[in-house]
């Protein structure tokens, strides 16, 4: 099992306190520093890692279909389905539930104007569970945007393979690529009709 480490370069000893179910590594570097990790935290890390991988793998077949077989009936039916969004939404809600703490709102809206501030968001995302939930959130939004690009491309007879591919990891760039491709295709179509 992996532990969060307490960056010690000299003596490290582990002490298990059975009554609190915590593992306490003692670190001696001139002064005694103690770091406490709960066993629940270890399970949370494994959950976050598993859901992160599951979510990532779950969206890949949809992107593969849109890129390799955009005109196939299977692709069109898959892109009509709400199932991937429901699954990703449930995974997101589960991770959000596990990552929520009493300090979450305070970290998100640290300013006196109740606006998010970067240091608070950075601190919040230092938690693996929160980071995994944000990844699932991005996967759902990126897939939704890719689906919109895909449908728009079919409707307007515009190539979308490159735009859909970009939506996987660089969603805003994929959307911009689609807008540019659509404009160029329309421009080329108008120039062809003018001849």
- Angstrom CA distances, 123 to 44, 83, 126, stand at 18, 33, 5
* Region of 154 on the Ramachandran plot (φ > 0 left; ψ -120 to 50 alpha; else beta): alpha
Among 40, 58, 140, 57, residue whose Cα is nearest residue 92: 140
CA distance 96 to 133: 6
pLDDT of residue 119: 86
pTM above threshold 0.85: no
Q: Are 91 and 136 in contact (CB under 8 A)?
A: yes
pLDDT of residue 90: 94
Q: How many CB atoms lie within 10 A of CB 98?
A: 18
Mean pLDDT by 10 residues, the chain (195 residues): 36 37 39 40 79 94 97 96 94 91 79 81 89 96 98 96 96 98 90 61
pLDDT of residue 120: 83
pLDDT of residue 13: 36
pLDDT of residue 192: 64
CA distance 139 to 62: 12
CA distance 176 to 80: 23
pLDDT of residue 193: 61
Q: What are the strands, taking DSSP E only, across the chain?
A: 12-17, 22-29, 31-34, 37-38
pLDDT of residue 74: 97
């Amino acid at each position: 099992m992996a532990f969060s480490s307490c960056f010690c370069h000299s003596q490290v000893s582990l002490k298990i306190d059975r009554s609190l179910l915590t593992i306490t590594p003692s670190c001696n570097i001139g002064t005694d520093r103690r770091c406490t990790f709960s066993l629940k935290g270890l399970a949370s890390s494994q959950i976050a890692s598993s859901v992160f991988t599951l979510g990532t793998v779950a969206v890949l077949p949809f992107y593969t279909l849109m890129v390799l077989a955009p005109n196939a009936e299977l692709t069109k039916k898959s892109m009509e389905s709400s199932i991937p969004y429901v699954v990703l939404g449930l995974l997101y809600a589960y991770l959000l539930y596990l990552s929520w703490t009493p300090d979450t709102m305070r970290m998100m809206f640290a300013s006196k104007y109740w606006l998010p501030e970067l240091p608070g968001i950075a601190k919040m995302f230092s938690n693996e569970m929160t980071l995994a939930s944000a990844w699932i959130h991005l996967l759902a939004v990126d897939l939704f945007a890719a689906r919109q690009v895909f449908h728009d491309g079919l409707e307007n007879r515009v190539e979308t393979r490159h735009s859909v591919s970009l939506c996987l990891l660089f969603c805003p760039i994929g959307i911009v690529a689609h807008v540019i491709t659509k404009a160029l295709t329309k421009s080329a179509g108008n120039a062809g009709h003018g001849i």
